[in-house]
Amino acid sequence: MSPINTSTVYLNGQYMPQDQALVPVTDRGFIFGDGIYEVIPVYGGRLFRLEEHLQRLSNSLAGVRIDNPLSNKEWSQTLHELVQKNGGGEQSVYLQITRGQAPRDHAFPDDTTPTVLISTSPLKAASTTLLEQGVSAITLEDIRWKYCHIKAIALLPNILLRQQAVDAGAQEAILIRAGLITEGAASNLFIVKDNTIITPAKGPFLLPGITRDLMLELAATNAMPYKETDITAAELFEADEIWLSSSTKEILSVTHLDDAAVGDGKPGPVWQRMHALYQAYKQALIAGTAN
């Protein structure tokens, strides 16, 4: 296999060098943020949980009323081809579909072909320091819309929230809507209380994370107690452990929240176990015995 060089992208049916991939300024993705996206990690050249990512892609498209431009078989072939062209190994695939190009008007245009872009970038493993020390987070009010289950490219609220966290010296913003925790600005949220793993149930106020779902599967198969239920702000602050999950960051332990230590300020034992199970799952994927 050739070395990883993620310079090839797929745009509207063609593979080409990234610097030659151009989209007209009338594209509704550029003008309105009218589109959806997916991020799929690749380990050992294999696409992680592809079926689940394609199902969420299809749900997001249906949620914004864009017809799915490709069948799942076509998606799979295209994604595999791009990953191979870019050298396999560990990559992060970014896939975006917009409603296409049209004169600027809020209402949907007639007969517009969706714009499809797929690119990849190197996927970096979390550093040992990050895993040993965990990350810090701040709590903020969830200012986003009521369709957070759709993976929409219009991420301005998430961007502002994440930047507020970064400005405060933290890595993530944990969001609170009407007294309940929803998720992070770009991650799902879990707490551990008395050895039980708790995460908010799916619904319109959070993205149904593929990492989140796998973690619950791993908890179930390994007899780790878990619940999908509301988490109040008070429960967050009293948690023994707090975790964040996402495809590119995997599972991170939050060891400081709003400047106070979570537990003893170190990644906890339940996180250690879940992190190890997740790493074992990735090895099984690379070996071809998991998807």
CB of 87 to ligand PLP, least distance (A): 22
* Binding residue (CB under 6 A) for ligand PLP from 50, 79, 207, 218: 207
- For residues 28 to 67, the per-residue mask of contacts with ligand PLP, x marking binding by CB under 6 A and - elsewhere, is -----------x----------------------------
Q: Per CB under 6 A, does 98 bind ligand PLP?
A: no
- For residues 180 to 199, the per-residue mask of contacts with ligand PLP, x marking binding by CB under 6 A and - elsewhere, is ---x--xxx-----------
State which residue, 16 or 130, has the beta carbon closest to ligand PLP: 130
Q: Per CB under 6 A, does 282 bind ligand PLP?
A: no
* Binding residue (CB under 6 A) for ligand PLP from 35, 88, 114, 209: 209
CB of 210 to ligand PLP, least distance (A): 4
* Binding residue (CB under 6 A) for ligand PLP from 8, 92, 199, 247: 247
Q: Which of 151, 193, 227, 282 is catalytic?
A: 151
Examine the residue annotation and report whether 151 is marked as an active-site residue of this protein: yes
CB of 208 to ligand PLP, least distance (A): 8
Q: Per CB under 6 A, does 200 bind ligand PLP?
A: no
The footprint of ligand PLP on residues 106-165 (CB under 6 A) is: 158
Which residues fall within 8 angstroms of residue 176, CB to CB, at 6 or more apart? 139, 140, 141, 142, 182, 233
Q: Per CB under 6 A, does 91 bind ligand PLP?
A: no
Closest CA to 211 of 186, 245, 184: 245
Binding site for ligand PLP (CB under 6 A): 39, 158, 183, 186-188, 207, 209-212, 245-247
Residues carrying an active site annotation: 151
